[in-house]
Amino acid sequence: MSRLIEIALGIVTGIGGFLEAGSLATAAQAGAGFRFELIWAVILGATCLAFLVEMCGRLSAISKHTVPDALRERFGFRFFMVPLVVMQLVMLMVLATELGGVALALQMISGVSYRWWSVPVGLLSWALLWKGTFGLIEKGVSVLGLVTLAFVVGALHLHPPFGEVARGALPRLPAHDGAQYWFLAVSILGASISPYLFFFYSAGAVEDRWDVSHLAINRITAGAGMGFGGIVAVGALVLAGMVFHPAGIKVDSYQQLPLLLTSALGHWGFVLFVASLGIACFGAAQEIAVTSAYLMAQGFGWRWSENLPPAEDARFSLSYTAMTAVACLPVLAGVDVLKLTNISMVVSAASLPVVVLPLLVIMNDRRYLRDYCNGWVANTAVTAIVLLAGVLAVVSFPLLIAGGG
């Protein structure tokens, strides 16, 4: 019985935790620019994420070690500095966009500029981490995150042409604006396969004291959670394809996004949109802040747990404190949140090989995984997708400039 609840909660966490500022914005841009043509990228990203998240859970359940632990232990300190520095920078950018997302949601209902919301939002997020536990962050915020299912409801409400939507699930070459097309494809991959989720998930498995008996749960929650989560992003993409594309609207501001749901669901659409944006980004902000602390603590061997009072893991607690404080600054300075989102997603995709390729080495190490090492299918598929995302991302930096974002 308790296992069933655990599975249900895991799936809910996957669904509720999938959508955040990056996946919402990139899905909306893709739908507005290319109607349903880029659905395949969302599906590819969600599939790859499911594989990777399953691996991280398996690593922690079997070895009781997290991904950063293993990166440091297996590759040594000098190598570890590379993913450490790269990931902290990526997470800082993504954290700023998430805080910006919450602040924008508050601006939409209050009329007070998002800049001034950055500090209260940062403080609230910090206070919840400071006083809360891992379960509160993982489960609590994710359950509320189910509100993002509104995008699926909205999409269904508009009666999309299902044949055309299904055709979008198959990759094909763009008919126009090739640069923009590939740029969005990379952004979607970067937004779906967020590297911070690997660290968060593997730390979670250790926080929740997983063991071999959790492998089945791990597989189900990774597959179903990320799968259903991907459907939320597809919902947002389909909505944009139906609302923005025919009107010739390109998404270049978060202010346009509530129109996705008001067109489908009227006043409730507006309420649900603001709630989705606010809650999803807030949840992601908490996960990213705590993950940045996990990465430090596990890489340097400090005592860590989100379940301990801050006095018992001072370095860990101060890590997420500092991270949240620094991430507030760009928002407070009034940075264009959507531009920051787009850049972060491409940088995130570019950083994938730095983390995922070493992770694959570890996933084949019998010292860590005993008889539960990766099979060749998982190895090949994930290597291919990650290299593809990495190469596309590096190529798309010029597109970012040429296409103006």
Partner 1 sequence: MRSRLLPAPLTGATLLIGLASCGRPTPRKAADARDRAASTAASAVMVAAAWDSGAAPGIYASHATGEMSASLWKADSAPVWSALPDSTAAAIHASLRVLGTRAAKLDSAIDQEDRPGATRLRTSLEQRGRELSAIPIDTTP
Partner 2 sequence: MTPHEVHLELLLGRKVHDVEGRAVGRLEDVAVERVDLACEVLEFHVGPHALLERLSLRAVRLFRGRSHGVRRIPWDRLDLSDPRRPRLTCRIEDLPEHPA
Partner 3 sequence: MRDMLLVRDVLDKQLVDRRGERAGKVDGVVLIFSPDGPPRVGYLEVGAVTLARRLGRRLGSWASRLAHRWGGAHTESYRIPWNLVRAITLEVSVDVDVEETRINVIEDWLRVHVVEHLPGGRE
**Which listed residue (107, 218, 221, 317) binds partner 1 by CB under 8 A?**
107
Of 76 and 120, the one with the shorter C-beta distance to partner 2 is 76
**Which listed residue (8, 85, 112, 131) binds partner 3 by CB under 8 A?**
131
By CB under 8 A, what part of segment 338-397 binds partner 2? 361, 364-367
- What does the block give as tokens for 228? 């259903």
Stretch that binds partner 3, among 57-65, 135-143, 215-223, 236-244 (CB under 8 A): 57-65
Is residue 114 near partner 3 by the rule CB under 8 A? Answer: no
- Axis crossing angle, helix 67-110 with helix 21-34, rounded to the nearest 10: 70
- What does the block give as tokens for 278? 């606010």
Residues recorded for the chain: 405
- Degrees, nearest 5: CA angle 380-356-330: 145
Is residue 404 near partner 1 by the rule CB under 8 A? Answer: yes
Stretch that binds partner 3, among 36-44, 49-57, 123-131, 137-145 (CB under 8 A): 123-131
Cα 238 off chain centre by? 19
Stretch that binds partner 2, among 31-39, 70-78, 108-116, 176-184 (CB under 8 A): 70-78
**Which listed residue (2, 78, 175, 376) binds partner 3 by CB under 8 A?**
78
SS3 labels along the chain: CHHHHHHHHHHHHHHHHHCCHHHHHHHHHHHHHHCCCCHHHHHHHHHHHHHHHHHHHHHHHHHCCCHHHHHHHHHHHHHHHHHHHHHHHHHHHHHHHHHHHHHHHHHHHHCCCHHHHHHHHHHHHHHHHHHCCHHHHHHHHHHHHHHHHHHHHHHHHCCCCHHHHHHHCCCCCCCCCHHHHHHHHHHHHHHHCCHHHHHHHHHHHHHCCCCHHHHHHHHHHHHHHHHHHHHHHHHHHHHHHHHCCCCCCCCCCHHHCHHHHHHHHHHHHHHHHHHHHHHHHHHHHHHHHHHHHHHHHHHHCCCCCCCCCHHHCHHHHHHHHHHHHHHHHHHHCCCCHHHHHHHHHHHHHHHHHHHHHHHHHHCCCHHHHCCCCCCHHHHHHHHHHHHHHHHHHHHHHHHHHHCCC
Is residue 351 near partner 1 by the rule CB under 8 A? Answer: yes
Of 88 and 364, the one with the shorter C-beta distance to partner 2 is 364
Q: How far apart are CA 373 and CA 160, in angstroms?
A: 42
By CB under 8 A, what part of segment 360-389 binds partner 3? 367-368
Torsion of CA 30, 36, 38, 42, to 10 degrees: 90
Is residue 178 near partner 2 by the rule CB under 8 A? Answer: no
Q: Which of 218, 197, 187 is nearest to 292 (CA)?
A: 197
Of 258 and 299, the one with the shorter C-beta distance to partner 1 is 258
**Which listed residue (247, 311, 377, 401) binds partner 3 by CB under 8 A?**
311
Q: Which does 250 bind (CB under 5 to 8 A by kind): partner 2, partner 1, partner 3, none?
A: partner 1
Q: For the CB of residue 348, give the shortest distance to partner 1 in the complex, in Å.
A: 9
**Residues binding partner 1: what is the number (CB under 8 A)?**
45
Stretch that binds partner 2, among 71-79, 112-120, 234-242, 278-286 (CB under 8 A): 71-79
x/- letters, 29..48, toward partner 2 (CB under 8 A): --------------------
x/- letters, 206..245, toward partner 1 (CB under 8 A): ----------------------------------------
Q: Which does 338 bind (CB under 5 to 8 A by kind): partner 3, partner 2, partner 1, none?
A: none
Is residue 294 near partner 3 by the rule CB under 8 A? Answer: no
Is residue 81 near partner 3 by the rule CB under 8 A? Answer: yes
Residues of this chain that bind partner 3 (CB under 8 A): 63-65, 69, 72-73, 76-78, 80-81, 127, 130-131, 299-304, 309-311, 313-315, 317-318, 321, 367-368
In the complex, which residues of this chain contact partner 1 (CB under 8 A)?
Answer: 75-76, 78-79, 82, 86, 89-90, 107-111, 247-250, 252-253, 255-256, 258-259, 262-263, 266-267, 269-270, 346-347, 350-351, 353-354, 390, 393-394, 397-398, 400-404
> Which residues would be at the binding site for partner 2 (CB under 8 A)?
74-77, 361, 364-367
